[in-house]
Structure 1
């Protein structure tokens, strides 16, 4: 990433995460009700967390939920965003227990449950990593309208272009922001 753009990306990601943190705190404390009309984002999914447990959209019910789509080999945006989400969760203290926070992989080829577990060990323990087979990942990224595309690199490896947003879902699993 260009040296002049990277600081801007980091500042923008940090500002966005602070806003999300404030919204989550208000939501968890009951201060936000019907803030936005529900959008057609989200839907049924079945994935596996870093402990091997099945997670579905039903696990989101009853708690506000933060969702970030990324991949473990991401060089900059993913770790920056997950760090900022971690900082928000840490700042929430005990209230972080009232929030679900999910990192959903867009790279099922490399992101096994073990790879996701190792990757998330550097972030807040409230973050759960979710992965699945290519069909499961395709279904969830379609339901959440996530852009994700494999991009070949010159050395034969690849990276992923993907949507870099943090989704906020309400207690019923409906999209808020």
Structure 2
């Protein structure tokens, strides 16, 4: 009987130690940004983002390494967009200014998913008018499609026989860091202050 009690005590002790480990060590993560993340990404953050080759407002072919030289807030849209894109990119520009006021520098990036109308000059002017730091990018249909695919965005143009055709597209903004790559995305219902606060958390962890 005494032996049985000893075995039961050992089992209880093992369970107790296991629970303590789970509460202390088990909850730890190798993710340096774990405390900052507010989004669950299927497959993990590593499945979003990556190399791209596009054309800037000066007509120069650039890569992601040329563009993302500091933390960047990337948005996929188009300049002829009547409502969503101007609001989203203006929100992003405001978030950049909020961060600048806190001493944190982030580059806003606008990637067009309408290369047929968004020439380098058009996209360059659009970006600059929204924020002096904003980088506008376009490219060939193939280049744009590759960049969109890397960030898992969606876009689909309506009947292009109408010169005022609309383009359906996803509306996420992506935070990308030079060394770590993509780390977080933001929905369009988040305010500039909320976006700035979340970005600031990531920047404090770098």
Query: Does the alignment reach a TM-score above 0.5?
Result: yes
DSSP-derived class of the 2:54 partner = strand
**1:102 is aligned to 2:97:** no
Alpha carbons of 1:127 and 1:61: their partners in 2 closer, same or farther (altered >3 Å)? closer
CA displacement at 1:53 relative to structure 2: 2.9
Deviation at 1:89, TM superposition (A): 1.6
Q: Does 1:34 pair with 2:33?
A: yes
Give the alignment's TM-score, normalised by structure 1.
Answer: 0.72
- Runs ≥4 in structure 1, deviation > 3 angstroms? 153-157
SS in structure 2 at match of 1:39: helix
Please give the secondary structure, in 2, of the residue aligned with 1:111: coil
For 1:104 and 1:170, the matched residues in 2 are separated by 17
Structure 1, unpaired ranges of 5+? 1-31
Cα pair 2:99 2:106 within 8 Å, conserved: no
1:68 corresponds in structure 2 to 75
The aligned residue for residue 133 of structure 2 is 126
Q: Relative contact order: is structure 1 or structure 2 higher (C-alpha 8 Å, sep ≥ 6)? A: 1
Question: What TM-score, normalized by structure 2, do the two folds share?
Answer: 0.63
- Distance of 1:170 and 1:66 partners within structure 2: 9
Task: Give how far 1:170 is off.
Answer: 2.2
State how far apart, in whole Å, the 1-side matches of 2:162 and 2:139 are: 26
Q: Where do 5+ consecutive residues of structure 2 fail to align?
A: 1-30, 38-43, 185-206
Residue 168 in 1 paired to residue 175 in 2? Answer: yes
Q: Secondary structure at the match of 2:79?
A: coil
Q: 2:87 aligns with which of 70, 80, 104?
A: 80
Larger Rg over CA atoms:
2
Q: Aligned residues, how many?
A: 145
Matched, 1:50 2:57: yes
Question: Compared with structure 1, are the counterparts of its residues 99 and 110 closer, same or farther at alpha carbon in structure 2 (3 Å cutoff)?
Answer: same
CA separation in 1, counterparts of 2:163 and 2:134? 31
Residue pair 1:169, 1:175 contacting (<8 A) in 2 also: yes
The Cα of 1:62 is off from its aligned counterpart by 4.9
The partner residue of 2:121 within 106, 114, 117 is 114
